[in-house]
Amino acid sequence: MIEARGLGCGYDSRFALKDINFKAAENELLGIIGPNGSGKTTLIRAITKIIRPQCGRILLEGEDIDGMEFGELARKMAVVSQGCDTEFDIPVEDYLLLGRIPHRKAFQFLETERDMEIIQRAMDLTDTARFRKRSLNKLSGGERQLVFIARALAQEPRLLLLDEPTNHLDIAHQVKILDLIRRLNRENKITVLIILHDLNLAGEYCDRLMLMDIGGVHKIGRPEEVLTYQNIEQVYKTIVVVEKNPVSAKPYILLVSEEERARKQSKTERSGHKNK
């Protein structure tokens, strides 16, 4: 579905991403994880043609995106980015209709029946129809995130890119958003590329994970292959304990504070003395 080959890109002449190779298959839910500044958002910006690759290629359904018009791209993929304007004073319904812009014909100034049907379906899927008349800036963070996803769905994308959609949300909304994304992926056959900071959620929901390290791909694979304590300690430079989620049997990462680590260490040292 989407593929990067030897991709290198960045801002100015400085390379932020070097030699990125990955491929997300049709109907896959691929998670992108990695520390701040490892280039996750830059990768999304390259895929959406906001920045141009300095080398390598990005293929969407086998076709190089460099030769594609913005409009054509927008009919195939939709983006929920972090930069969505939250203070925008516009009714939800009108906001969703903006998602129909890529599908407008020349000189088509009014909405068609089909446009209305599609935003209705997008609202049904995301459970946002109940605040269709309310203004975007009057919604809570969780509701707004659902609306952003609904607008992306109004584009009828085959590929959905999401940049930390669960940021600043409570656990109930995090699960709600990710359940929704998984449902879209499974039932509506939308391929998903999602950046997540929460490793546990990433492991729980994604088919495969791509772990990025400063400008490159550290490892791609199934969650249990990627989320090992060796990989995480190497990339995040943080000590973690990896357990199994008792319900889903997916890897679960536990963090330990400095104080506890010191206590544990002195304990083992003491017990070491005793054993001697």
Partner 1 sequence: MSQKTFALLAWILVLGAILIVVVLVSLSLGSVNIPLGRIVEVIFQRKGSVEHSIIFDLRMSRILLGFAVGSSLGLSGVILQGMFRNPLVEPYTLGISGGAALGVCLNIVLGVSKIGGGLSLPLSGFLGALGVILMVYFLSARKTFRIQGLLLTGVMISFIASSLIMLIMAVSRVEELQGIIFWIMGSLEESNWFLIITMLLVSLAGLLVAYLFCFDLNALALGEEEARHLGINVERTKRMLFILASLLTGCSVSVAGIIGFVGLAIPYFIRLLTGIDYRFLLIGSFLAGGAFLILCDTLARTVISPLELPVGVITGIIGGSVFVYFLHTGPQQLFRKT
**Where are any strands of DSSP class E within 52-167?**
55-60, 63-64, 77-80, 159-163
Q: Does 165 bind partner 1 (CB under 8 A)?
A: no
Binds partner 1 (CB under 8 A): choice among 64, 94, 127, 170: 94
Q: Does 86 bind partner 1 (CB under 8 A)?
A: no
Q: Which helix (H) or strand (E) holds 18?
A: strand 17-24
Q: Does 256 bind partner 1 (CB under 8 A)?
A: no
Q: Does 111 bind partner 1 (CB under 8 A)?
A: yes
Q: Smallest distance, Å, CB 6 to partner 1?
A: 24
Binds partner 1 (CB under 8 A): choice among 1, 7, 8, 48: 48
Hunting for tokens 């963070």 — which residue is that? 141
CA atoms of 26 and 72, how far apart (whole Å): 19
Q: Smallest distance, Å, CB 33 to partner 1?
A: 22
CA atoms of 263 and 31, how far apart (whole Å): 35
Q: Does 53 bind partner 1 (CB under 8 A)?
A: no
Given the rule CB under 8 A, which of 68-76, 170-178, 224-232, 238-246 is the region that contacts partner 1? 68-76
CB-nearer residue toward partner 1: 78 or 169: 78
Buried b (16+ CB within 10 A) or exposed e, 90-111: eebbebbbebbebbeeeeeeee
CA atoms of 37 and 42, how far apart (whole Å): 9
Binds partner 1 (CB under 8 A): choice among 28, 35, 84, 167: 84
Q: Which two tokens stand for residue 60?
A: 């969407």
**Contacts to partner 1 from residues 145-164, by CB under 8 A:** 155
Sign of the alpha-carbon torsion through 23, 28, 208, 44: positive
CB-nearer residue toward partner 1: 6 or 71: 71
Q: Does 63 bind partner 1 (CB under 8 A)?
A: no
Binds partner 1 (CB under 8 A): choice among 14, 62, 109, 257: 109
Per-residue interface string for the shown chain with partner 1, residues 226-245, x marking contact by CB under 8 A:
--------------------
Per-residue interface string for the shown chain with partner 1, residues 181-200, x marking contact by CB under 8 A:
--------------------
CB-nearer residue toward partner 1: 64 or 72: 72
Other CB atoms within 10 Å distance of the CB of residue 88: 11
Q: Which helix (H) or strand (E) holds 231?
A: helix 229-236
Q: Smallest distance, Å, CB 208 to partner 1?
A: 24
Instruction: For residue 112, give the 3-state DSSP assignment.
Output: coil
Q: Smallest distance, Å, CB 163 to partner 1?
A: 11
How does DSSP assign 135-174, residue by residue? BGGGS-HHHHHHHHHHHHHHT--SEEEEE-TTTT--HHHH
Could you tell me if 196 and 163 are in contact, meaning their C-beta atoms sit under 8 angstroms apart? no
Binding region for partner 1 (CB under 8 A): 45, 48-50, 69-75, 78-79, 81, 83-85, 87-91, 93-94, 98-99, 101-102, 104, 109-111, 116, 137, 155
